[in-house]
Chains A and B, each alone.
Chain A
Amino acid sequence: MDAAALLTLTGLRVDRGGETVLDGLDLELRRGEVAVLLGPSGAGKSTLVLAAAGLIEVAGGAVEARGRVAAALQGAALARRSVRANVEAALGWWGVPRPERPGRATRALERCRAAHLADRAAGTLSGGEATRVHLARAVALDPDVLLLDEPFTALDPAVRGELLAEAGDLIRDARRATLVVLHDRTEAWAIADRLLVLLGGRIAADGAPAAILGAPPSEEVAAFLGFTGRLELAGGEILRLRPGQVTTVAPGEGDLDGTIEALIPEPDSAIARVATERGRLEVRVAVPGPSTGELVGLRLLGGARFEARA
């Protein structure tokens, strides 16, 4: 175990419902870092949190923690009592002496912008309010390893934006290792020191967000991270591109031409799905702009290259 490692998962295998969800997963969480775990639905992200927190049996491998692990699971499950009582109850479970609980609860609620909810009954909270209390309850414990499973779900966009902007300060602690499971990739860029991508029951990518986005380690990871375009190049190479890595130009003036197959509207633009002789890709276009069936030129501005599989 690395000196800075606070949680180490080695060869972790977890079976659920007769299926192997995690298969030989290795992961080390280090002191002071905020690691974000991404993966498609059903990849086993929540299972990983449950296994790392010791809440489910593992079929193989080992979970080794240095210090205490706390987890805020998916869905804000609160007891039928006041918000403050919920946070103080968790502090009691954690073993915090009674006199210290009110102060710690208040500070955690303030940090999560939920102090004004302290005397409200948990059952009267909206989904977003309950989520903030749920997050405060976990943060209040000040554990050595903090696991957060989709902590920003059910928040309205304004609050989510505020919390994301402050999330770094809120959950980052030099003494703590933090793992945050997220469904939304854009949230990951806001808070991650380290990005983990879970695919096929294993960690398929592990590194700084910019490094992984700049050079995804596999075509599967690239596809998951939004490299929706796929072109077959000469020499058997595959080029994966994000919509932002392609622009439209006049036919014949770009790297290749293609025909718009479909337009997917967005608030201020549209995503055009374009078929070319080398494959399909997506490009963001202005609205109003080209229409379905129109021939456009395409200029490629980067992308990630992979060897074609046999």
Chain B
Amino acid sequence: MSFVLHMLGEALDRIASGDAELLATLGRTLWLAAASAFVAALVGIPLGARAGLRAHGPVGGFRAVAANIGLGLPPVVLGIILGLLLLPGAPLGGLRWLTTMNGIWLAQVLLAAPLVAALTAAAVAQGPANLVLQARALGASPRDRLLLLLGEIRPALLAAVLAAALLGIGEVGAVIIIGGNVAGHTNTLASTVVLDLAASDTAGATAHALLLLGLVGILTWMHGRARRAAGAAA
């Protein structure tokens, strides 16, 4: 027990001292989560909105599209496929993104976009169909109606983007495969825990894990608020 308390104390000391490496890793993790969630939203929301609107039609468009966009693709499998595509000479090799943060970012976008699309599609499909029909009856164009609908379900959209950010913060598999988990370059909070444990630096692993836990806690709280707001709006 004293070992655990000692380790926790040392981890908290490192956090409190503003350890430069720790802060740099935190910065990379935040950048990765924000950048991947942002682009996943740019890609996933329009795709999801389109799929959700189809679900109002006679065929189950939402199910078909959700299946096609690869929701649930294991990160490790995506990492291997993307890693092969990024190898020199492979179709994406020219980008030179293997073992870079850009490569990890691309992997995260590919993982998060289907999640955002699926959550958006579900929100659109369950959205206020009568309001959209009423808007059409008052002259709203398809674009007007889409904007109206997205405005009505914005808490659900925020929840989807936060879920994408959460995915980015906690992801390890694709980070290690694509980024190589290079200390000081492509490691994130989650992947650094693996590095620290491999180096028997339990205090470092605990410090990174505590920061990760804090970030996840903040985002989970925001996610929960957004979901409750979405539920209240439904």
| A79 close to B (CB within 8 Å) | yes
Q: Among the listed B130, B134, B136, B152, which residue makes an inter-chain contact with A80, where contact means beta carbons less than 8 Å apart?
A: B152
A42 to B141, CA, bound (A): 30
Q: Is the CB of A80 within 8 A of B233?
A: yes
- Using CB atoms, name the residue of chain A closest to B148: A79
| B73 close to A (CB within 8 Å) | no
| B151 close to A (CB within 8 Å) | yes
A108 to B32, CA, bound (A): 50
Hey, what's the 0/1 contact readout for B195-234 against A, CB within 8 Å counting as 1? 0000000000000000000000000000000000000010
| A75 close to B (CB within 8 Å) | yes
Hey, what's the 0/1 contact readout for A54-73 against B, CB within 8 Å counting as 1? 01000000000000101111
Given A79-B151, A79-B152, A93-B144, check contact A141 B131 (CB 8 Å): no
- Using CB atoms, name the residue of chain B closest to A95: B139
Distance of B151 from chain A, by nearest CB (Å): 7
Q: CB within 8 Å of A: which of B117-164?
A: 128, 130-131, 133-141, 144, 148, 151-152
| A78 close to B (CB within 8 Å) | yes
A95 to B141, CA, bound (A): 10
Distance of A161 from chain B, by nearest CB (Å): 26
Q: Is the CB of B140 within 8 A of A93?
A: yes
CB neighbours (8 Å) of B141 from chain A are 93
Distance of A51 from chain B, by nearest CB (Å): 12
A161 to B134, CA, bound (A): 26
Distance of B230 from chain A, by nearest CB (Å): 11
CB neighbours (8 Å) of B133 from chain A are 55, 73, 77
Hey, what's the 0/1 contact readout for B30-54 against A, CB within 8 Å counting as 1? 0000000000000000000000000
Q: Is the CB of A55 within 8 A of B136?
A: yes
CB neighbours (8 Å) of B135 from chain A are 90, 93
A251 to B94, CA, bound (A): 106
Q: Is the CB of A79 within 8 A of B138?
A: no
Distance of B186 from chain A, by nearest CB (Å): 43
Q: How large is the interface on B (under 10, 10 to 19, 20 to 34, 35 or more residues)?
A: 10 to 19
A147 to B138, CA, bound (A): 10
Hey, what's the 0/1 contact readout for A132-166 against B, CB within 8 Å counting as 1? 00000110010000010000000000000000000
Q: Most chain-A CB neighbours within 10 Å: which of B128, B134, B144, B152? A: B134
Hey, what's the 0/1 contact readout for A15-49 against B, CB within 8 Å counting as 1? 00000000000000000000000000000000000
CB neighbours (8 Å) of B233 from chain A are 80
A25 to B130, CA, bound (A): 26
CB neighbours (8 Å) of B148 from chain A are 79, 89
- Using CB atoms, name the residue of chain A closest to B134: A77
Q: Is the CB of B131 within 8 A of A71?
A: no
Given A73-B130, A73-B133, A77-B128, check contact A93 B138 (CB 8 Å): yes
Q: Is the CB of A53 within 8 A of B137?
A: yes
A55 to B139, CA, bound (A): 11
Q: Among the listed A75, A80, A81, A137, which residue makes an inter-chain contact with B138, where contact means beta carbons less than 8 Å apart?
A: A137
Hey, what's the 0/1 contact readout for A196-232 against B, CB within 8 Å counting as 1? 0000000000000000000000000000000000000
Apart from the given pairs A71-B137, A80-B151, A141-B139, 15 other A-B contacts in the complex at a CB distance below 8 Å: A68-B139, A72-B137, A73-B133, A73-B134, A77-B131, A78-B131, A79-B131, A79-B148, A79-B152, A92-B144, A93-B135, A93-B138, A93-B140, A94-B139, A95-B139
Between-chain CB contacts (< 8 Å), 19 pairs: A55-B136, A70-B137, A70-B138, A73-B130, A73-B137, A78-B131, A79-B152, A80-B152, A80-B233, A81-B151, A92-B144, A93-B135, A93-B138, A93-B140, A93-B144, A95-B139, A137-B138, A141-B138, A147-B137
